[in-house]
Amino acid sequence: MTDKDLDIIFDASSLDTRIAEMAAEISSDYDGKNILAVCVLRGAFIFAADLLRKITADVTLDYLEVTRYGNSDKPEENLKLISDLSHSAEGRHILVIEDIIDEGITLSAVRSLLLKRNPASIRICALFDKPEHRRADISGDYIGFRVPDRFVIGFGMDYKQRYRNIPYLAAVKAQ
Ligand code: IMP
Ligand code: MG
């Protein structure tokens, strides 16, 4: 796939500007608290790295790795927990950092899993939202952009484990 096969949805500088706004809002909401930032691997790693460097509140970073996608662009029904947090979530102010909410199945399962651990609070931050196909009752507390109903890649998101390193958000052009 080359640049010619891609439609740019959001360029790097628009993403950076919006992430700075989100970080300012989060920093003010969590002022004086320690955030347990839970980066949902793998897709959220680039967003989390950019967002966390702009947050001025106190942050502890942890990771959770889950997948609904095997080696395809068709999601599987059940979420697989590949690796769990390394910190206890009990009594913590959890901020889940996710790349994109689509059907909502992933975040809904992640939220249920974390709620069982008695956190003090839990909020969801996602850079992109594709609400057209929502099946689970979930919405983000902090959302960067609504994206068109297309399969997007780049800025951490993959197609068959490739293209995560593209520094902007793109969709594959219809052939
Ligand atoms: P959901 O369970 O349908 O909300 O799926 C959310 C997860 O699927 C996200 O964490 C992404 O990793 C992945 N995903 C959903 N839509 C896309 C897309 O358009 N491109 C790449 N990954 C996606
Ligand atoms: Mg993901």
What secondary structure does DSSP assign to 141-164, as a single string?
Answer: SEEEEE--SS-EEBTTB-BTTB-T
pLDDT in tens, 127-147: 999 999 899 999 999 999 999
Ligand 1, from 38, 98, 100: best to mutate by most atoms within 8 Å of Cβ?
Answer: 100
Q: Is 34 in the pocket of ligand 1 (CB under 6 A)?
A: no
Residues marked as catalytic: 102
Give yes or no for residue 158 having a pLDDT over 70.
Answer: yes
Which helix (H) or strand (E) element contains residue 107? helix 105-115
**pTM of the shown model:** 0.94
∠ CA(129), CA(22), CA(7), 5° rounding?
A: 45
> How remote is the CA of residue 87 from the centroid of ligand 1, in Å?
25
Give yes or no for residue 71 having a pLDDT over 90.
Answer: no
- Predicted local distance difference test score (pLDDT) of residue 74: 66
Residues with CB under 5 A from ligand 2 (ion): 43, 99
| pLDDT bracket for residue 50 (50, 70, 90) | very high
